[in-house]
Every structure is written in structure tokens, then in C-alpha cells.
Amino acid sequence: MSFAIRAAGPGDAATVLALIKALAAYERMPDAVKMDEALLRTAMEAGHCRALLAFDGDGAVGVALYFFNFSTWTGKRGLYLEDLFVVPEARKGGIGLAFFRALAKIAVDEACPRMEWQVLAWNELAAGFYRGLGAAEMSEWRVWRMETEALDRLAQG
């Protein structure tokens, strides 16, 4: 397989969104994506998120969507990988590794001492890949989330 990875811009929002929806279906949450193309384009234009796309010829076969966070412990920005997805027929061709190398280069170039992401507990294939890269599972940390209704209740007192 011959592929190329390039940075996505706001004009690629439709392609990025289609791959995010494919990821949601793969993660058994096909109705979880509420974002639309205009919202994604606006977020990309504002710098809230960035993306890399992998192409096999003219067709997009993968996406890595990321943003920068901040660590109070290091006093520096970190790179947070929100989503990484490669279409099933393009897997095992080196695209995942190429994405991680590109993201590591971005992190190093941006002086980020950390790159972090999450993986669903059932996705042992991905976890094994990450271990092979030298990543360490942060098993002592638990992810917590508060969504719209709970946020509204808390904000209203």
C-alpha cells in the first residue's frame, strides 16, 4: 500500500467528519457524533482542533484529530490525540505508525513533553499497538465526564 499523510485544513472538514463517523460506528457508538461539517470547520478555523489525513491515491483512508492541552505539572502544552482512525481495509499497512510518527514530530516541534490519548477498554488490538510504540497505560487515572444535562444542572446551582 502506498499512502501519504498531510495536514488537514478547514476545507477538509467533510472528509474529517466522515472518518470520525466511521470511527464512531467502529467503536459501537454510531449515533454519538452530534457535530456537523460547519461546526467542525469553525473549530478548525479557530484552532480548537487540528487533523492529519492519510490518503491512498485520492481517497482518504485515515484521520488523526488532535489539540493542545496544558499540564500544570510540566508547565507546558501537551498534544492530546482525540481520535485516530484508519479504515479497516487500509489497516496493517503502516498508516497508524505513520500517524504516530507525524504526531510525535509535531509534539517535539511544539515543545510538548507529553502526548496522551484514550482507548476503549475492549480495544486490545489498539492497546497492543500502543504498547509496541512504547506508550504506557495510565491505569491509576480514571476518566470522568460531565455532559450537557449535568453541566446545566450544576451551572444553575
Per DSSP, the three-state class of 140 is coil
pLDDT tens column, 130-145: 999 999 999 898 889 9
Domain 4-155 of CATH type 3.40.630.30: yes
> How many residues are recorded in the chain?
157
pLDDT tens column, 50-73: 999 999 988 999 999 999 999 999
- Look up 130 and say whether it is catalytic: yes
In eight-state DSSP terms, residue 23 is H
Q: Where are the domains of the chain?
A: 4-155
Other CB atoms within 10 Å distance of the CB of residue 32: 13
Amino acid at 92: K
Q: Out of 26, 66, 80, 130, which one is annotated catalytic?
A: 130
- For 102, the grid coordinates are 507525524
In this predicted structure, the answer to whether residue 47 has a pLDDT above a threshold of 70 is yes
What's residue 1's pLDDT?
67
Mean pLDDT value of segment 90-100? 95
Is residue 41 within 8 Å of residue 9, measured between CB atoms? no
